[in-house]
Structure 1
Amino acid sequence: MKILSDKEFLLKLMSESTDTEPPKSQIWVNGKAVDSFIEGEVCEACIGYENFYLVFTTNNSPFEESLNIQFLDQNCRLLDQATLVWPYSTGSFTLIGLTEPNFIAFKFFEETVWEIALYPSKKLVIPYFSEPAGVWRKFRLRHYFKISKKSVA
């Protein structure tokens, strides 16, 4: 697991957000455009995990910012996604650290510390009860990652 640089993984804005659609960006890997697009305007961080990418993007919205978390395969196809959002709130992304073999800690809403556990294959997850308030996903029973609030002592 490692944090990828802009030379290894980069986003280029292709369409700005509208009233009904979020912004879309094209993915560039190792300086080459990939025929794959992702939601978000700003790439906050990209983590390389085994043959996967975990990408954190924001939409560059000053009033109700959300954090898009997208899990891609080695060909940059979307496998799983979640969004951290809270009505009338805005967040600022800070990567806290990586803990081998598969944990990522970060902050987004104020001082809340979030943790993601990554999985190399889909795991069974109970929808709506497995993750804390503020995490939004499409309904699916299996996911490649799980988000939790990290307890801070």
Structure 2
Amino acid sequence: MTVTGTTRNTEELTLTFVTEFDATIEQVWGVWADPRKLERWWGPPTWPATFVRHEFVPTGSARYYMTGPDGTKAHGWWTITTIEAPYRLEYDDGFADDNGEPLAGDVPVHAVVTLDEVGGKTRMTVVNHFPDADTFDRLIKMGMQEGMGLALGQIDRVLSNL
């Protein structure tokens, strides 16, 4: 399992995941930069993702949907706010309508991904910053912590098939 730690901080409104991989920083960066690799792990195993747009540049946007076991589609979007390849990625992540456009009134979560070399491995830390306590509570109740943990747990398989 790649996830080595998960921390939920209700005071700072953050949900943090720490993962480690037997891969280079550049290889781990590639699982974010390449939409076909991203599709192989984004979303829990029973809710695989399809990226229909993936503009991996600052101010770029991504549009995706995850398909559930019964065929239900949950749409999402990103706006990339920072790229410092291959060490840092920041993006806003929110819910989308059936056309992939942000839902009116939805307040996104801001995610910060950092990659560091530690003892010959790559440590990836993902910190999700919630805009308010209501959004934090709602997404935790929806299963974000469990779902993201399962999603991140799929990256080793993606890296082993480079």
Structure 2 length-normalised TM = 0.35
Using CA pairs under 8 Å that are at least 6 residues apart, name the structure with larger relative contact order, 1 or 2.
Answer: 2
Structure 1 length-normalised TM = 0.36
